[in-house]
Amino acid sequence: MSKFESLPGFRAFYPEDRARLGHILDVWRRACRRHGFREWEGPVLEPLELLTAKSGDEIVRQLFNFTDKGERAVALRPEMTPTLARLVAARANALPKPIRWFAIGECYRYEKQQKGRLRAFHQLNADLLGEAGPGADAEVIALCAECLLGFGLSRDSFALRLSDRTLWFRVLASLGVPDEAAPAVLGAVDKLGRSTDAELLAQVTSALSGASADPARVLAESRRLAAVRSFAELEAAAGADPAVAARLAEWRELLSLLAGLGVGDLVRVDLGIVRGLAYYTGFVFEAFDAEGEQRALAGGGRYDGLVERMGGPAMPAVGFGMGDVTVANLLESRGLMPSYAEGPDFFVAILGADARDAALRDVAALRSAGMRVEYNLRDGRFPKLMQAAESAGARFALVYGGEEVARGVAKVRELASRSEAEVPRVDLVPAMRAVLEEGFGAVQP
Ligand code: HAM
């Protein structure tokens, strides 16, 4: 055991682990490209202020922050949305709208390490800016679903829970909750299943200090709304308030667009989702695996005020983040994590010094032609080299002895079947390309 262990919640990836992570990142990237999203990246270290300004208490408590050698207050990014808003704000007028961007980066949160939660994780972000209508929400929610379907997950293995902070704000306003107090009340709603009644009432009371609304009534009505699990229940809960009823028209539009995009069956109405981050303003959603035991696979929603607060023009925005940790757990539990053969295409086995020059020239030629080639750095005997070829995970070996080189040939061996054939070295590159494309039959006599 090494005397230096990695920090809690930080992972190192051995090649086979990195291959599994790579699979997740590839599926995400392909789904985003299919939807016309373009990739961006931001800095890992940011000014502390950028991250504390708009995200809300929970994430601020989890920051990895410190003072750098230039006395700047800095923090590792816990999420990418504030960075995105700053980038867009800086070029808002020049960027063609709508902006469809995605990024994949490591994020850092000083959380208690537990199943599905680490202190460093990879996160996909996909965001659509510059469009205020439900068309943008639908596009982003559909992309979130496609990012999961791309793994081969069946449609019954996960669901997207859809909720609405606009509707929440309107219901709270109808109960006399002032706009400024609403985010703090939603902070309590976010903890409904996790805190005691007394704690919740204390939190709502403190959120409402100075306002005329009755905390006990606000809490009771919030519980009722948070329990809504279908659009019919939502219509019933909306009651007669015209502002709330008007919002239902946007719900109908969104649900119909989601059905049109082919993901309607994956979406469940769930007003219990309010999201922990303070900047959300409209529809919000989270993805969960169907067993519902895990932490969320993804979460997002509309955040219309953020670009403006970063110094840009008013710009509507909607997006989501998806982490690799819960996705990997789900894929493992469903047997959908591929086991990668990361071996080379060819293991070149060099039997003696008299063959080495010729063999290395062929290694270089095969590599220039794009093939993956490994070879023994020291001369060795045939059985040992075949063992080395197998443990490298190669499909084929190319055997170079002094006798073969003198005759101008190389011996090709398929490791699984142990079949062999000779190929003239002058034809090696096209012959090996044929072997990779068509199988060993391409060179068999
Ligand atoms: P979030 O809900 O905080 O949203 O995180 C999104 C996803 O990142 C989570 O559902 C989870 O998969 C993953 N995640 C978050 N924290 C951890 C952790 N400690 N360990 C492992 N995975 C984690 C946001 O970050 C928003 N900025 C998303 C967004 C983008 N909204 C609009 N655009």
pTM for this model (two decimals): 0.92
Ordered DSSP codes for 362-382? HHHHHHHTT--EEE-SS---H
| Same structural domain, 270 and 412 | no
| Same structural domain, 308 and 400 | no
* pLDDT of amino acid 9: 95
Mean pLDDT of 137-160: 97
Q: Tell me how long the chain is.
A: 445
Using CA atoms of 21, 27, 29, 30 in order, give the dihedral in degrees to the nearest 10: 150
Domain that holds residue 384: 346-435
* pLDDT of amino acid 278: 84
Q: Which two tokens stand for residue 85?
A: 């808003």
* pLDDT of amino acid 212: 86
Q: Are the C-beta atoms of residues 388 and 347 closer than 8 Å to each other?
A: yes
| Same structural domain, 367 and 264 | no
Q: How far is residue 344 CA from its own chain's centroid?
A: 28
Residue recorded with tokens 């020239």: 361
Q: Within a domain: residue 116?
A: yes
Q: Within a domain: residue 10?
A: no
* pLDDT of amino acid 311: 94
Per-residue pLDDT of 55-113, as tens digits, reads 666 777 899 999 999 999 999 999 999 999 999 999 999 999 999 999 999 999 999 88
What domain count does the chain have?
Answer: 2
Q: Within a domain: residue 5?
A: no
State which of 300, 334, 368 marks the end of a domain: 334
| Same structural domain, 329 and 351 | no
Per-residue pLDDT of 387-440, as tens digits, reads 999 999 999 999 999 999 999 999 999 999 999 999 999 999 999 999 999 999
Ligand 1 pocket list (CB less than 6 A) = 79, 81, 109, 111, 117-118, 121, 123, 125, 127, 277, 296-300, 303, 319-323, 325-326
Ordered DSSP codes for 235-259? HHHHTT-HHHHHHHHHHHHHHHHHH
Atom of ligand 1 nearest to the CA of 59: 3
What residue's CA is closest to ligand 1, atom 10?
298
Burial of 232 per CB tally in 10 Å (0-12, 13-18, 19+): exposed
Atom of ligand 1 nearest to the CA of 125: 30
C-alpha of residue 11 to centroid of ligand 1, in Å: 17
C-alpha of residue 299 to centroid of ligand 1, in Å: 6
- Rounded Cα distance, 196 and 302, in Å: 30
* pLDDT of amino acid 1: 60
| pLDDT confidence tier of residue 341, bands split at 50, 70 and 90 | low
What residue's CA is closest to ligand 1, atom 2?
299
| Same structural domain, 268 and 358 | no
* pLDDT of amino acid 47: 95
C-alpha of residue 51 to centroid of ligand 1, in Å: 14
Mean pLDDT of 109-129: 95
Domain containing 422 — which CATH number?
A: 3.40.50.800
| Same structural domain, 28 and 160 | yes
- Rounded Cα distance, 25 and 19, in Å: 10
Q: How far is residue 340 CA from its own chain's centroid?
A: 20
C-alpha of residue 323 to centroid of ligand 1, in Å: 6
| Same structural domain, 82 and 194 | yes
| Same structural domain, 146 and 259 | yes
| Same structural domain, 390 and 251 | no
Residue 247 confidence (pLDDT) above 90: yes
Mean pLDDT of 360-374: 98
Phi, psi (deg, nearest 5) at residue 121: -150, 155
Residue 364 confidence (pLDDT) above 80: yes
